[in-house]
Structure 1
Amino acid sequence: MKFLGNRATLLPLAAVAATLAFGVPQAGAQGLFEMLFGGGIRHAPQGDFPPPPKYRARPDVPANGGGGARISGPSYYTYKADRLVRVDFTALMAAPQPASPQDAAFVPSLTSNAFREAIAGLGDYEFYAEPNIAKALIAYYSANPDFIWVTGTGPNIRAQDAVRVLGEAASYGLAPADYTVEVPVAGVSTASPDERLKELVRFEMALSARVLRYAHDAQSGRVDPNRMTGYYDFPPKPLDMEGALKTLAHTQQVRTYLESRHPQNPEYQALRVELEALQASAENEIVVDPKLLLKPGETSPELPKLLTLIARNLDDETGGDYGETLARLGTSEVYDPELLPVIKAVQKRAGMKGDGVIGPRTVASLAGTSKADKIQKVQVALEELRWLPSDLGSPRVFINQPAFTASYIDNGEEKLKTRAVIGRTTNQTAFFYDQIEQVDFHPYWGVPQSIIVNEMLPRLRSDPGYLDRAGYEVTDSRGKRIPSSAVDWGAYGAKIPYSVRQQPSEANALGELKILFPNKHAIYMHDTPQKSFFERDMRALSHGCVRLQDPRGMAAAVLGTSVDYIAEKLKHGHSTENVTRTIPVYVAYFTAWPDMSDKVEYFNDVYDRDTKLQQALAATEAMRSPST
């Protein structure tokens, strides 16, 4: 028995030759193809296209193959916040009398007559709210014509609790101005009874609207992430707004209800504690531009700050080696070549590669992150956590892209943490969550159309047979395998009517296994033959999927088995195994995130997504600011 790829006994070569012979009738070929390849791949998964063999371009074919068609990835959008609408209180004023309320559960109280009289004070009230909140106000008060927040001639205890919670919004990373309500002065009023009643009913409507805004923001976030970019993919988290008002009308536990709208997980709480600590702390004495990028010979006013920090923290060994150099060049804004070994030594001491290039990771290791930057990162992280389920689940897999790590967490314990490679800035990994379903051993790689068009097609136009030589299989739209050399690749642009699949082998882009959680982004976790990537500090290097340094460990974790079992499975060629437990996976993006001991760590904004989220938040605040 021989095997393909020099890794494991996969398929007898004779059998492969017989079953994939190009002369096999169409129906039979398709059936055998499905049998051999496990029914195919349900999605067009992304992977990583290894560099093709070196070749000489034919002089009679243009370098671009005669076409420039490309398939683009998702884009970022200019965020459009919900416009506020004027609440049409005329509909409420025309609502039926409480003798026959629309809501059968409504029970008139002693204040219901006063409420009915007060409604007239809304006739010329110019109050603006989000469309869904405006609709909920009219629907609720039409069916329940009574005060929630007013008793007698002033705000009640329920209202006082609500206003206090809204005033504490900043402790959750929210903007208090979004929930401001003008509270009627308590005690004796100089206004006439009618004027006082008008003041109270307007306060009633304003507080209900802002409470609903707060509940929505706490549960779902202030922005809709899916409207920011195609890289974000989150299901809606609808809030029953009429139901919320009913609950608030029948409870004295207003604070408990509103606080329960926030995510109820330890990570959210740890970020809140960090935010409070940051707001009470002093700013760093020396603040260095976190985006500094400086190479030998270049100049920057930020360099003396870094050199000062290095000089402060010299130990005996490095002080003896570099003390004189730092004393002489410590105020220089020019990155003198003499400083190169100093920077390299500092980088290596911090666990970095030590290439001498001063970048964000070097700055962070020396100067830390500024207080202002940390606060922004924590506020962004709190907003992003509101997009996820309140209970993150256990067990779960958590991939944090800016940290370049993937973890398996069970019962509050991080059972596995492995280095990860994520998508390049031009092939970004999406931010979403899903559920792990399957592990594939010695997988076939279905090359996505974007890689076929953008990376393979230019080569194929001048060298149509190279896929045959490089271990790839080409099939037409009916599933029939055909030689790559038989296709006129020059006839196609962005729409290729062929599928390309790479056979299992040591050179396979997915390595020895992949872990699937089918999603529209066609992203999954997998092994890779490019092990050296894991030694780099900045690991945004793939086409979008998540490569793992310890894929066997992760496969064993999600399957609830041992690494030895995984090793045994790999000895028997291509196969798949379903994950029988519910294991959510978060392909997340957090530049501030607590470790398992609740210590918040900070990471570089690899894709500049924090900036884009801050722009969306600013657009939302600007849209809300003219509200009354």
Structure 2
Amino acid sequence: MRKFRSIGFTYAVAVLLCLTGPSAVTGLQSAIAQTATAESSEVQPGSEAVYAEPQTLIGQAIKASMPPNVPQGLERYYGQRAFAPIWFDESGLRENAHLAIAAMAEANDHALNPSNYGPLRLVQLSETAQSPEEWAQFDLELSLQFLRYATHLSSGRVQPNKINKALNLFPNRPAPEMLFENAELSTDFSAFLEGLAPRSDNYARLKRRLAQYRAKAAEGGFTIVPEGEVLKPDMPDPRIAVLRERLIEEDVPGAADHTGDAYDGTLVEAVKVFQEYHGLETDGVIGKNTLARLNMPIEEKLIQMELNMERRRWMRDNLGDFYVFVNLADQNLKVVRNGKTIHTTRVVVGKPYHATPVFSDQMEYVEINPYWNVPYSIATKEYLPKLKGNPSALSSQNIRIFQDGNEIAATQIAWNSYSGKNFPFRLRQDPGKRNALGRIKFMFPNEFNIYIHDTPSKSLFARSERAFSHGCIRVSDPFALADVLLEHLNPAPGQWEQIRDSGDRKVIKPKVPIEVHLTYLTAWMNKDGSTHFRKDIYGRDEVLLKALRTAMTENL
């Protein structure tokens, strides 16, 4: 058999450069990979050689070479085409083959690792193949690598629930038969390749910002602000010029408008914006935490952005027409209608020991003046020891005791006879100002017993870090949230507050679908161009980074 013409020395070099450039999770400088991207774009598709053997010989070789662990859908797709090659014909390599290998070589643009897809090996196979068996090997390997690449790009390199049981996300992975059929039927294969990535503005913005930060890293990163005393507004300081330059480098509004050597005016306001971007107290004071964020290595920010691009691949492109979006790392809630944010508020989320899980559900009802059915774990671990010491310990909190549906006086129970292993009681707190759920809760029943609710502990909302609950989400100004979520019911002004003040328990069911998405994002870019980073309060960045590095070495 005559060998196809080489894919091209320039292209092979481009692939090699990509493979030796930054990986998807190292956060290192990307100059080499960017050079590779530019060079690989020069590749011209097509081949001048013809493939001399009958198609049937190649088909027989592909069928005989089919690996035992090949995905069934891919094997069926080959079978439907009588095992004819997918990526070449009598005229040589198809354009789709060139474009697919080029896309895999440039996977770093999407924070994926090009070496996971072996583009250089595919180039080498196409260079050296002579026999039908060798060409069959090339076609099969390109199909397998393309399937892997498409899966990683569309739904993530790792399956979230397998690396962390608190991540109850199960992204749809592409079905091989449909993927290859759509690829072959596409009239614009380049557009088809671009469409494999998440089609959300959030993903596109973060991808764009990642490229910009990589370019900045290649230039040496951000300026370091020297250590010194705590810097407060109106103080003179020799570091002012350096501070101003550091904020300008990250495009913080107002920094470039400042002049002079005093920490005042627009520079203080710029620092407050920077603090907001990083989830800090927006007091304008440059203390230990703010200075640490100013001097956070750009490589760490690259890692955060890369990890959160992976998280975006786990999420649906369309989160719904009307939904509640809670970012646990940010400890904020927003309500979105038709793509526009119409309400934002602070929330308190679970302590690291009681980390709130990630999942999506649909709101079913809102309850005003709710009972609080004390969770079993809280009843046995927190309240039972108190009851053993004093059977009346919970009476001041209006918590009553039930067994088999019947109320029992706490003083009639021999509490020392019970433990977490044989606790037959149900504890319920009556509605009221001291109720742990406050005066209203928003229910989307789920297996984790997580919901959004009011709280009598209002002071916690003033803190910059708000991880204090047992897992549920406490919301600031919950009746303002009710007004937004139940607006379609056309309530009279103050209607929900009137029910609250009456003390009556009331359940209201929304008449329109309201989706609820509990997420965990530590880096994102807003529509206004601001880039945000958050502390990894649950250590989930570390877990994901380790999983991605393992996947990289295992070439998954």
Band of TM-score, shorter chain: 0.7 to 0.9
In structure 1, what is the Cα distance between the partners aligned to 2:392 and 2:51? 84
* 1:99-114 alignment, distance < 5 Å: 114=54
What is residue 484 of structure 1 aligned with on the other side? 410
Secondary structure of 1:305's aligned partner: coil
Change (3 A) 1:615 1:466: same
In structure 1, what is the Cα distance between the partners aligned to 2:53 and 2:446? 55
Is 1:235 matched with 2:170? yes
What is residue 416 of structure 1 aligned with on the other side? 343
What residue identity is the alignment partner of 1:307?
G
Change (3 A) 1:231 1:357: farther
Is 1:352 matched with 2:281? yes
Which structure's CA Rg is the greater one?
A: 1
Following superposition, the deviation at residue 248 of structure 1 comes to 2.2
CA offsets per residue over residues 151-200 of structure 1, 9 Å max, x none? 2263111111212222221111111111223345799x887xxx243332
Contact (CA 8 Å) 1:401, 1:587: kept in 2 or not? yes
* 1:155-194 alignment, distance < 5 Å: 155-181=93-119, 182-184=121-123
In structure 2, what is the Cα distance between the partners aligned to 1:184 and 1:615? 30
Of 461, 467, 475, the residue aligned with 1:540 is 467
Is 1:140 matched with 2:111? no
CA offsets per residue over residues 538-577 of structure 1, 9 Å max, x none? 1111111111112112111111256623223323321010
* 1:167-566 alignment, distance < 5 Å: 167-181=105-119, 182-184=121-123, 195-281=130-216, 282-286=219-223, 305-307=226-228, 317-319=234-236, 352=281, 360=289, 363-364=292-293, 366-367=294-295, 369-476=296-403, 478-495=404-421, 496-560=423-487, 564-566=494-496
What residue identity is the alignment partner of 1:480?
N
What is residue 614 of structure 1 aligned with on the other side? 545
In structure 2, what is the Cα distance between the partners aligned to 1:371 and 1:553? 39
In structure 1, what is the Cα distance between the partners aligned to 2:221 and 2:518? 32
Identity %: 27
Change (3 A) 1:166 1:497: same
Of 518, 521, 545, the residue aligned with 1:590 is 521
Contact (CA 8 Å) 2:171, 2:315: kept in 1 or not? no
In structure 1, what is the Cα distance between the partners aligned to 2:449 and 2:51? 58
Change (3 A) 1:374 1:127: farther
Following superposition, the deviation at residue 112 of structure 1 comes to 13
What residue identity is the alignment partner of 2:80?
A
In structure 2, what is the Cα distance between the partners aligned to 1:112 and 1:469? 90
What residue identity is the alignment partner of 2:525?
P
Change (3 A) 1:473 1:279: same
Following superposition, the deviation at residue 362 of structure 1 comes to 5.4
**Richer in helix (by share):** 2
In structure 1, what is the Cα distance between the partners aligned to 2:549 and 2:110? 17
RCO higher in structure (CA 8 A, sep ≥6): 1
CA offsets per residue over residues 406-443 of structure 1, 9 Å max, x none? 01112332211111111111111111111122111011
Contact (CA 8 Å) 2:66, 2:140: kept in 1 or not? no
Secondary structure of 1:593's aligned partner: strand
Following superposition, the deviation at residue 452 of structure 1 comes to 0.8
What residue identity is the alignment partner of 1:306?
E
CA offsets per residue over residues 600-623 of structure 1, 9 Å max, x none? 211111111101001111111122
Change (3 A) 1:143 1:190: closer
What is residue 61 of structure 1 aligned with on the other side? none
CA offsets per residue over residues 208-244 of structure 1, 9 Å max, x none? 1111112211222111111122211123514221221
What residue identity is the alignment partner of 2:76?
A
Secondary structure of 1:607's aligned partner: coil
Change (3 A) 1:596 1:463: farther
CA offsets per residue over residues 90-112 of structure 1, 9 Å max, x none? xxxxxxxxxxxxxxxxxxxx999
Following superposition, the deviation at residue 590 of structure 1 comes to 0.3
Change (3 A) 1:571 1:156: same
Provide structure 1 residue ranges, at least 5 long, that are not aligned to the other structure: 1-109, 288-303, 325-341
In structure 1, what is the Cα distance between the partners aligned to 2:446 and 2:437? 17
In structure 1, what is the Cα distance between the partners aligned to 2:215 and 2:498? 55
Secondary structure of 2:314's aligned partner: coil
Q: How many residues align?
A: 467
Contact (CA 8 Å) 1:149, 1:204: kept in 2 or not? yes
CA offsets per residue over residues 114-164 of structure 1, 9 Å max, x none? 443125656996979xx5x53333222223221211022631111112122
Q: TM-score when scaled to structure 2?
A: 0.76
CA offsets per residue over residues 243-285 of structure 1, 9 Å max, x none? 2122223334333333323221111111111111111114434
What is residue 26 of structure 2 aligned with on the other side? none
Change (3 A) 1:596 1:505: farther
Provide structure 2 residue ranges, at least 5 long, that are not aligned to the other structure: 1-49, 240-262
Of 118, 136, 141, the residue aligned with 2:58 is 118
What residue identity is the alignment partner of 2:486?
L
What residue identity is the alignment partner of 1:569?
I
Following superposition, the deviation at residue 446 of structure 1 comes to 0.9
Secondary structure of 1:263's aligned partner: coil
Q: TM-score when scaled to structure 1?
A: 0.68
